[in-house]
């Protein structure tokens, strides 16, 4: 909102400089974007960033009220025309009918005869300072009122209206309207329009139609001033791709008490500059008048939240100056907000207003009293924090990508599951029309973006939510990696990242969750066959659960290329559904003493089918070793695969695996007999389960 300081002084007498005004309002919660000199006598334009919850401050009067409250000055309201308005829906020249009171609870209009004249210099200069281009006296007046009071107005050429009628109704299916920007638009049934007897003449709250536009030959106009439901205007504006000064105010929540006031101001300006006059009574169709609800403000609650006692007189002064009706109660006050303060709904809202204008800088820093112990942290937060530490330590950088993606991309990474995708009913654009069913698409795009900007090695992870109709909202962690497996170093040549590097990261994730990784080959349409697997997490030293909760593999080159990655790139990805990870009983980090007794290492070489995953063999060994723990056999403390050989001397379809078994007991030195018993038990299990042959 561009605020001309001389315009503000029309409504409040303050001697503060523009810089002091800006600083004072900044302390009251308004962000100052810039201050620009605009004229003599210290005049300036202050550009404020107005938050969505303060539509009343999209006007000069709104900021004047804030300044008057801050400096304790009186607020002067703008002049109004003398003519009064009554609850009528006809003026003798035009009739107004509200056919949808839900989307338009109030509609006011005035018929005026306009004269040939020009806008005065003071009006055009103020409009230009506010960023509005002067056009003609009537249009300039409507824009002036918009900037001054925050209430949009629109004028129709009365002679172009069929039947001399204005009907506020929903558009018919497929109805078309050429708006003032010259674009023919197709309307939808849930869009509100202002129509005459035969056709739509304006999109309510957004933009007028070309057919009823004011021209040089116009002599009689109907000026509209209304209140439209914010959600309806917001939805219509986005669907039509039209963002106007009017829609930006209506969609934030207009003032239902302003339509007649704004018309009165416009009529006063018309008389002042000789641009026209009212030719018949003002129409005000308001079938169900609304009143703001009283809000209770407790003195004790005010002091508890702000941390200091605000004098009663100061509380009443601040709230009254902001336009509220205040009445005392035994424990505080009741306050009724004005219709232009749509953001005041709860007691804490009033506390904020008192705190803003009493001065947050006057609140001393104190340690809050602890009335009860803090609640235990959410285990999910703790778990995700640990995963961030682990993945960052593994050399990956955290990324945060959009939760909305394009439907075509969602189908690409969730093939065959289109019915399971969750579409957005009112998307910002076609690129954000679906909730992401996976974190992988966003990470692949982030990798491609980094590669296009010269980053050769990119390793990213993300922890976030994904959405499907079947699974609802789920938390997941995903990884995307391309380039070198490790930073270049003088001590040796580097190598490109491969499938097993990503599996190694997943093993770290599994360990952090108190589990072990179990992996097996799989087929996923967007990943390369032969370099794709599904995996699950199981408690340490237990068998693999049947349900896989993650996938890992190499993104298909055609898909990576389609997302903008260089053709030669190999992007490895993985995703784990955290919501489905069992709550393993790993608790806190445990500190155990170093072993006092030596370990015993035995190497075992076996022949097994070459299609048998190593994870299955590992599970068989762990299962057999855990069964020996109930006897006097040696407990298995570690196992590792250290060699794999296929070729000369090995039967076709088989592979030789060398496994290092480490045995260690916490309470004794193991004997050869105990170790051999454990080795024999493990070997027997491998023979029975997989037909293994010892070499």
Q: CA–CA separation, 237 vs 206, rounded Å?
A: 6
Residue that the structure tokens 């407990």 belong to: 635
Q: Which fold has domain 2-71?
A: Phenylalanyl-tRNA Synthetase; Chain B, domain 1 (3.30.56)
How far is the C-alpha of 202 from the C-alpha of 168, rounded, in Å? Answer: 10
pLDDT of res. 669: 93
Class level of CATH domain 85-285: alpha beta
How far CA 86 is from CA of 91, 109, 282, 285, in Å, comes to 10, 11, 7, 9
Instruction: Please state, in angstroms and rounded to a whole number, the distance separating the CA atoms of residues 348 and 360.
Output: 15
The CATH class that applies to domain 295-362 reads alpha beta
The predicted pLDDT at position 504 comes to 93
Are 85-285 and 379-487+495-580 equal in CATH topology? Answer: no
Q: Which CATH class is domain 600-694?
A: alpha beta
In the prediction, which pLDDT does 536 show? Answer: 85
DSSP state of 175: -
Give me the residue spans of the domains in the chain: 2-71, 85-285, 295-362, 379-487+495-580, 600-694
Q: Work out the number of other CB atoms within 10 angstroms of the CB of residue 642.
A: 9
Give pLDDT, residue 544.
44
Cβ atoms within 10 Å, residue 539 = 14
**Architecture of the domain spanning 379-487+495-580:** 2-Layer Sandwich (3.30)
* Phi, psi torsion values for 551, nearest 5 degrees: -140, 150
- With contact defined as beta carbons under 8 Å apart, do 422 and 414 qualify? no
pLDDT at 512: 87
d(CA 343, CA 340): 9
Successive 10-residue mean pLDDT values, the chain, 695 residues: 91 90 90 83 86 93 95 92 62 89 96 93 93 93 96 95 94 94 94 95 96 92 96 93 93 94 94 92 92 94 92 96 96 96 95 93 79 82 92 95 92 80 85 92 95 92 93 93 86 86 93 84 90 81 58 94 88 93 64 87 92 84 76 83 90 92 91 91 92 89
CA-closest candidate to residue 450, choices 493, 480, 412, 486: 480
Rounded-to-integer distance, Cα 115 and Cα 124, Å = 18
């Amino acid at each position: 909102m561009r605020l001309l300081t001389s315009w503000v002084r029309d409504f409040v007498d303050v001697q503060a400089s523009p810089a002091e005004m800006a600083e004072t309002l900044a302390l009251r919660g308004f962000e100052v974007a810039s201050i620009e000199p605009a004229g003599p006598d210290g005049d300036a334009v202050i550009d404020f960033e107005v938050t969505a919850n303060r539509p009343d401050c999209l006007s000069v009067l709104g900021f004047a009220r804030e300044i008057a409250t801050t400096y304790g000055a009186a607020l002067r309201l703008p002049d109004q025309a003398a003519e009064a308005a009554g609850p009528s829906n006809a003026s003798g020249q035009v009739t107004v009918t509200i056919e949808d009171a839900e989307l338009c609870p109030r509609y006011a209009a005035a018929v005026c005869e306009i004269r040939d004249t020009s806008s005065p210099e003071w009006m055009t200069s103020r409009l230009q300072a506010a960023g509005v281009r002067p056009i003609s006296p009537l249009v300039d007046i409507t824009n002036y009122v918009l900037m001054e009071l925050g209430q949009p107005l629109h004028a129709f050429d009365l002679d172009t209206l069929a039947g001399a009628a204005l009907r506020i109704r929903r558009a018919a299916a497929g109805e078309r309207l050429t708006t003032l920007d010259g674009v023919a638009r197709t309307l939808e049934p849930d869009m509100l329009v202002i129509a005459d007897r035969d056709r739509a003449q304006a999109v309510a709250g957004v933009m007028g139609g070309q057919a009823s536009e004011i021209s040089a030959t116009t002599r009689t106009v109907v000026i509209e001033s209304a209140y439209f439901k914010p959600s309806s205007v917001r939805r219509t504006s986005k669907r039509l791709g039209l963002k106007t000064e009017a829609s930006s105010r209506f969609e934030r929540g207009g003032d239902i008490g302003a339509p007649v006031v704004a018309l009165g101001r416009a009529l006063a300006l018309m008389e002042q500059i000789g641009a026209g006059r009212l030719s018949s009574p003002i129409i005000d169709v308001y079938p169900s008048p609304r009143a703001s609800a009283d809000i209770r403000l407790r003195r004790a609650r005010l002091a508890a939240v702000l941390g200091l006692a605000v004098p009663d007189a100061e509380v009443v002064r601040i709230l009254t100056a902001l336009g509220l009706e205040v009445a005392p109660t035994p424990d505080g006050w009741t306050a009724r907000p004005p219709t232009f303060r749509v953001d005041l709904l709860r007691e804490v809202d009033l506390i904020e207003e008192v705190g803003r204008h009493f001065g947050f800088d006057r609140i001393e820093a104190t340690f809050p009293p602890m009335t009860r112990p803090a609640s235990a942290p959410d285990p999910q937060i703790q778990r995700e924090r640990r995963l961030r530490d682990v993945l960052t330590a593994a050399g990956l950088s955290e990324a945060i990508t959009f939760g909305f993606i394009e439907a075509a991309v969602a189908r690409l990474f969730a093939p065959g599951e289109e019915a399971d995708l969750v579409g957005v009913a009112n998307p910002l654009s076609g690129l954000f029309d679906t909730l992401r069913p996976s974190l992988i698409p966003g990470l692949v795009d982030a990798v491609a973006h980094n590669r296009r900007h010269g980053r050769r090695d990119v390793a990213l992870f993300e922890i976030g939510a994904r959405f499907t109709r079947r699974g609802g909202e789920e938390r997941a962690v995903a990884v995307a990696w391309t380039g070198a497996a490790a930073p270049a170093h003088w001590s040796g040549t580097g190598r490109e990242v491969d499938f097993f590097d990503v599996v190694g990261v997943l093993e770290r994730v599994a360990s952090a969750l108190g589990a072990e990784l179990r992996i097996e080959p799989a087929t996923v349409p967007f990943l390369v066959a032969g370099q794709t697997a599904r995996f699950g997490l199981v408690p340490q030293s237990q068998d693999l659960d049947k349900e896989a909760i993650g996938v890992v593999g190499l993104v298909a080159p055609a898909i990576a290329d389609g997302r903008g990655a260089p053709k030669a790139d190999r992007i490895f990805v993985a995703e784990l559904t955290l919501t489905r990870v069992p709550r393993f009983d790993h608790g806190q980090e445990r500190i155990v003493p170093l072993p006092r007794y030596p370990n015993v290492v035995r190497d075992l070489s076996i022949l097994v089918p070459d299609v048998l995953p190593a994870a299955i063999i590992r599970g068989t060994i762990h299962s057999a070793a855990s069964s020996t723990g109930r006897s006097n056999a040696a407990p298995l403390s570690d196992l590792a695969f250290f060699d794999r050989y296929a070729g000369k001397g090995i039967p076709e379809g088989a592979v030789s695996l060398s496994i290092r078994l480490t045995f260690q007991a916490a309470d004794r030195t193991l004997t050869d007999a105990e170790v051999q018993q454990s080795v024999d038990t493990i070997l027997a299990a491998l023979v029975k389960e997989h037909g293994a042959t010892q070499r």
